[in-house]
Structure formats: C-alpha cells, structure tokens
Amino acid sequence: MSTPVTTDPAGGLAGGDEATLTAAYRRWGPLVHVLAQRALGDSREAEDVTQQVFLAAWRGRAAYRPELGSPGAWLTGITRHRIADALAARTRRAALVEGAGAQYATLDHRAAEGMDSAVDRTLMAQELARLTAAQRTVLRLAFYEDLTHPQIAERTGWPLGTVKSHARRGISSLRARLADDADDADDR
C-alpha cells in the first residue's frame, strides 16, 4: 500500500513520505547537481554527490526540523557537506598516490629486478591481513571504497573517534611493517 503524497514537502520529508522525497529530488536535484558540478568540476562526481545528498536526506529525515528552514535550504546544507567530503577524499587520494610514489621510489631496485604490481598487491593484501579486523575494515573502506571517517562510522556503526583510532593505528602498523620489509630487502 503506497503512502499518500503529502502536500507539505517539509512535513512529508520529516515524516518519511517516499513520494515527497521523490518530489524533492525532482525539484531540488538539479540545484544540488549544479552546485556539486561547479564545486567539483566533474559531472560523475557531481552525480555521486547528488545521490549521496538525497540518501543522507532520507537517512537523516528524523533530524530535519521544518521550522528551522525550507527543504531546499536543508538539502543545500547537506550538499555543502558532501562536496567538502568529496574534496577531502580527492585530497586524500592525491596524498596516497604521492606517498605511494615516494615509497616505491625507495624500492626502485626491486622494479629493476622485474617485480610487477601483482606482487605488490599480494604483499599489501598480506600486510592488511596481519592487522586487526577493525583496522583492516576501516582501511579497506577508506582506501578501496574512498569513504570518509564519518561515512565509515555511519556504515560500521562505530563512534567516529574509534574509526579514526583504528585508521591511525592501522596505517602506523602498515608503515612500520613496510619499512621493516624495505630494510630487510636492503640487507640482502
């Protein structure tokens, strides 16, 4: 049985009316997409942000207070946060690539000996497997699914501080183990 369409978009969103969410998407989706496109400069990323905004609106509908602002203003606020998350993820990816490049630069002699990326992926998988399950989960979500710490906390149900601690400890462990492996290789 379908829910009747609420004539009040604010009340309908707050009340969890799916038809109102659909109407809100039709009405404010283009605005959200344009804001994301302008900020990110990438249509595909803007589409992802638009989807994330409306998913966040649906999930967070209980926190929406119509008396504090219009649905459009609320969605614009969510958009701003999702754009910031996308830009932060972009920065993290660039830093990761740069860091990996620096790490591999110290291992150039291995590349000269014909070591290919499959071996490196296997090594990384083995090192990830040595981490605790929580650290491994956080790092895989962060690097393979490109999720932010708040998004990881939301997906796992863990507190944000716990997610950050697992990420920090996991990266420290990986860094130490990879440095030890590099030192061992230099000694050979």
Mean pLDDT by 10 residues, the chain (188 residues): 50 74 91 94 92 91 84 92 91 78 58 57 79 88 86 91 90 81 60
Nearest residue to 23 via CA among 38, 47, 4: 4
Q: Are 139 and 96 in contact (CB under 8 A)?
A: no
| Residue 64: predicted pLDDT | 82
Give the model's pLDDT for residue 1. Answer: 43
Q: What is the pTM of this model?
A: 0.49
CATH number of 1-88: 1.10.1740.10
Fold of the domain spanning 106-188: Arc Repressor Mutant, subunit A (1.10.10)
What does the pLDDT look like over 141-152, one tens digit per residue? 888 888 899 999
Q: What is the pLDDT of residue 2?
A: 46
Every domain of the chain with CATH number 1.10.1740.10 lies at 1-88
Least Cα distance to 51 among 79, 91, 23 occurs for 79
Residue 28 has a pLDDT of 94
- CA distances (Å), 188 to each of 59, 114, 177, in order? 55, 17, 17
Contact (CB, 8 A) for 77 and 65: no
pLDDT of res. 105? 57
Q: Which structure tokens are listed for 59?
A: 């999930």
